[in-house]
Chains A and B, each alone.
Chain A
Amino acid sequence: MKMDKIKIGVFLSDCGNQLSQILDFDAIINYVKKVPDVALVARANEFWRGEGLKNIVEAVKGKKVNRIVVAETIPKLGEINILEAVEKAGLNPYLAEIIDLKDHCAWPHKDSPKEATEKAKAMLLAAIERAKLLESIEKLEFPATKSVLVIGGGIAGMQAAEDLAEMGFEVHLVEKEPFLGGLAARAGRFFPTDDCAICIQSPASDVKTVTHTSRKCVYRSGFTEIPNLNVLTNSKVLKVEGVPGNYKVTIEKKPRYVNEEKCVACDLCTTVCPVEVPDAYNANLKKRKAIYINTPLVYPPVYAIDANACKFADCAKCVEVCPTKAIELNQKSKRLTLNVGSIIVATGFKEYDPSVIKEYHYGEYPDVITQLELARMIDAFGPTNGTIIKPSDGKPAKRIVFIQCVGSRDRRWNPWCSSICCMISLKHATLIKSAYPDTDVTICYIDIRTTGREHEYYYERAREMGIKFVKGRPTEILHDPEANVLVVDVEDELLRRFLEIEADLVVLAPSMVPADGTKELAEILGLELDEDGFFKEYNAKLRPTETKKRGIFLCGGATFPKDAPTTSLQAHSAAMKAAKFLNMGKIVKDQRTAAVNEEYCGDCEFCPVTCPYGAITLTPKNDGHFVAKISDLLCEGCGVCVGTCPVNAIELRHFKQNQMLAQMKALLSINGTSKPLVLAISCSECGNAAVDSSGMAMMRYPANVRTMKVPCTGILQVQQILEAFKAGAQGVMVVGCKTDGCHYEVGSQIAQRKVELAKMLLKEYGIEPERLEMFNMVYIEGDRFAEAAKMMTERVEKLGPIKIT
């Protein structure tokens, strides 16, 4: 590598003469000018825009400087602007060091300007020493396939798939059942719009028949005719290999035994099929044939054969009658391999089986049913054509009791509130009451939760219609076999009276739990599940449809039971995120990643286990030993591996040990106050933000406290903490994110352990361990930082200078 002579440009902003009223700028400039390798010192009102920025750019363009140190006062905005400008001017942005003399020096030490001036010198010297050792970082590009796999063909998956296909991405929509629609299709109608569950937005590509406001039934929507959209029913994801942008997915497509291209849904096959089985789709309330279609309105509108029921070659009557020769009994399972750049998980949720709650006798008394089963009865296309009956004898149900929170909000089964069951019951109760006003409907509830838009009106309307509400969770459902009537045993808490409510039909509102196969899919994709078994999003507030794995997104009920409006929102969000991820056809990032020194690395498993991003794998070398390999694509550059490595074999390209040491020594080389030096090592996220905010709010703390930013406190090794004491610190603070809010997942926790370990070592050396302390803070806790800085200073003052025994 050609080593140019180092020429450092130092640019000092005095923030419109604000800072020079506190700091002695002349003294500072005189000092900086004398530091070796400093080629240029400039001062201006501001350097992050306008004339000031032009100065920097010209100095870079004119080759007057080849590294820069800028002391600016607008923490992040300034940094972004300056780095972009110097990059355009031809300087690698990683050769620039930006510090904040206002928030980290002048303002918090406003009352002691002399001390602040000395601290400013130390901060600038530290930045210069670090700048000398900085190295260029290259840009990396990784190819990305503009193709997306959507897992799950319910409303979430269909909407995400449609969005992406219409934006021009190739989309593979994988559904495990023979028909699309998922759980929602069985719901009949939706709240709060009261429209059909199978009504979806129409593809915008269907320009001949729709306007942009159009909604259509799935069967009329032309959904599967969208160009670039490949619908795979009866299919399951078996394996996912590869990296974000380039996944190789193995799919198993089970045979339908009906050729989707040829079937015209003429229904002749079902008239000859001799096999009848209970129709699970319709809550087993009617029978269906071995060759079947769920309802007339499904997609794809072609029949399927139930392999568990069909007699195949022993019968084959359907084959004979089929006018288009669509039935192919010799179809076999197929394995397909897809190349996709991104994956959207839309696997949804399911209704919990309430038969475990013995006192409600579900599965034992036929007239105790679930909400989903009732939905099939309410549906005009359902097994009872919209009439509400007692399954035990087929007679109309005139007295209906709903029981809420069955298995939900229940520590014995599922502790969460399933969030939609109150609304489902209100919807069903009002639908029944409107169609059959003489039906007596009672809802037994613990709390009615109607938190969404227009939801409370459902509750209001239900009361207007004469639906009765009993506050109380029934202890048991009894059955009188003679009268064939159910009795619900409940305390009406508001009356403080025990009721025995007679009912023809009792409808349980079971909790909603993760869909079948959620755990297996999570393993295949390497995704985390939350403690309730749902897919875990990356951040509930800011990244609700993203996962810890770049390129894999979530939407709909896969993360938690939710209503149709929220599911739609998430589907569009996940589609947008996937589009944003793949849009350029490549993934561009800086190589600000970790690098392994293979000479030292060998055979331990610390870093691959600790890396929060699964970026490290152990790879065999020729000599039979294993070394760590770091994926530049997956590495986020946090440095947790650096802190974890027991043999110092890993370094961050953008934050090397020698840079950190030089910076630390310089920071502690000038004191200028009467107090002992305290070094605060802060992470670049919440920790440093707390330091920023204490300065911004002009909270005071003494100037002997020096801050040094590291990418994540997880990068710290015990020896570096000890080095700080060696370099002259009388006290050391480690300031990281909250342990459960670390931007790199585990960094704060790992740092905490390092601090504990370093304390033990300090004790061995005869140094008081309380000279070292870990703090966890966020941006809004600037006051806590100022307090902590004062507290540590006082503590160290009391202890006196370090005496090594």
Chain B
Amino acid sequence: MAQEKASPRNFSKEITSRLGGETITFCYQCGTCASSCPVAKITEKFNPREVIRLALLGMRDEVLSGDAIWLCSSCYNCQERCPQKVEIADVIYALRNIAIREGHIPNIYSEFAAGLMSEGRIVPISKFLEKKRPEYGLPPLKPAGVDAIRKILSATGFDKIQFKKGETP
């Protein structure tokens, strides 16, 4: 894979060489994942069987630039029940990783990442929330150790890879 250029023709190879993507070729399209999926039952935009199918057929751009892979809720129901032991949720993570490196990322995820870097949190703490906490008997939030989190993000390379279009490692 290392020498081969990423292309629709070798997309399934590209995925199996990724952490989490190893099992994608086991899929024989039985549909157990789809009927197990709580997201697929409420929106037509996501069907795990279809994501796998498109990927195996080499429809690289459609998979990576589309919304579908971002809609998985990671409940792992599909993965539990897949008779071929396709690690479907993990395959979708692998696809997301490829997508990010190629600059395909929904805004909300960019905001999460930026928040993590600047505040040490994915969900920003609003004044409203802070006011509400005592009402429920919750203690005030301690500051997130931003410096420590940044160190981790820098050590793992997260700060470097984020959101630069077209960059591949």
| Interface set of A (CB-CB < 8 Å, partner B) | 359, 405, 409-412, 446-447, 471-476, 489-491, 493, 496, 498
Number of A-B contacts (CB under 8 A): 57
**Is the Cβ of A475 less than 8 Å from the Cβ of B36?**
yes
In the complex with contacts A409-B28, A411-B26, A446-B28, A491-B83 CB distance below 8 A? no
Q: Which of A405, A409, A446, A498 contacts B35 (CB 8 A)?
A: A498
Asked if B9 is at the interface (CB within 8 A of a chain A CB), the reply is no
List residues of chain B with CB within 8 A of the CB of A446. 28-30
**Is the Cβ of B30 less than 8 Å from the Cβ of A405?**
yes
Q: Which of A411, A447, A471, A473 contacts B32 (CB 8 A)?
A: A473
Q: Chain A binding site: helix, strand, loop or mixed by DSSP?
A: loop
List residues of chain B with CB within 8 A of the CB of A409. 28, 83-84
Asked if B81 is at the interface (CB within 8 A of a chain A CB), the reply is yes
In the complex with contacts A471-B31, A472-B31, A491-B35, A498-B41 CB distance below 8 A? yes
Give Cα distance in the complex from A489 to B34, angstroms. 10
Give Cα distance in the complex from A410 to B84, angstroms. 6
Asked if B12 is at the interface (CB within 8 A of a chain A CB), the reply is no
**Is the Cβ of B83 less than 8 Å from the Cβ of A493?**
no
List residues of chain B with CB within 8 A of the CB of A493. 29, 31, 34, 49
**Is the Cβ of A411 less than 8 Å from the Cβ of B31?**
no
List residues of chain B with CB within 8 A of the CB of A471. 31
List residues of chain B with CB within 8 A of the CB of A411. 26, 83-85
The residues in B between 1 and 44 inclusive whose CB is less than 8 angstroms from any CB of A are: 26, 28-32, 34-36, 40-41
Q: Could you mark each residue 107-143 of chain B with 1 if its beta carbon is under 8 Å from any beta carbon of chain A, else 0?
A: 0000000000000000000000000000000000000
In the complex with contacts A409-B83, A473-B83, A489-B35, A496-B47 CB distance below 8 A? yes
Give Cα distance in the complex from A412 to B85, angstroms. 7
**Is the Cβ of A490 less than 8 Å from the Cβ of B83?**
no
Residue in chain B with minimal CB distance to A489: B35
**Is the Cβ of B28 less than 8 Å from the Cβ of A491?**
no
**Is the Cβ of A475 less than 8 Å from the Cβ of B81?**
yes
Show 5 A/B contacts (Cβ-Cβ < 8 Å), sorted by A: A409-B84, A474-B35, A491-B47, A491-B49, A498-B35
List residues of chain B with CB within 8 A of the CB of A447. 28
Q: Which of A405, A472, A490, A498 contacts B40 (CB 8 A)?
A: A498
Give Cα distance in the complex from A425 to B30, angstroms. 18
Give Cα distance in the complex from A359 to B83, angstroms. 12
**Is the Cβ of B47 less than 8 Å from the Cβ of A474?**
no
Give Cα distance in the complex from A336 to B83, angstroms. 46
**Is the Cβ of B85 less than 8 Å from the Cβ of A490?**
no
List residues of chain A with CB within 8 A of the CB of B32. 473-475
Shortest CB distance A532–B (Å)? 16
**Is the Cβ of B35 less than 8 Å from the Cβ of A472?**
yes
Q: Could you mark each residue 67-81 of chain B with 1 if its beta carbon is under 8 Å from any beta carbon of chain A, else 0?
A: 000000000010001
List residues of chain A with CB within 8 A of the CB of B26. 411
Shortest CB distance A487–B (Å)? 12
Q: Could you mark each residue 37-75 of chain B with 1 if its beta carbon is under 8 Å from any beta carbon of chain A, else 0?
A: 000110000010110000000000000000000000000
**Is the Cβ of B28 less than 8 Å from the Cβ of A475?**
no
**Is the Cβ of B83 less than 8 Å from the Cβ of A412?**
yes
3 A-B pairs with least C-beta separation: A473-B30, A410-B83, A475-B35
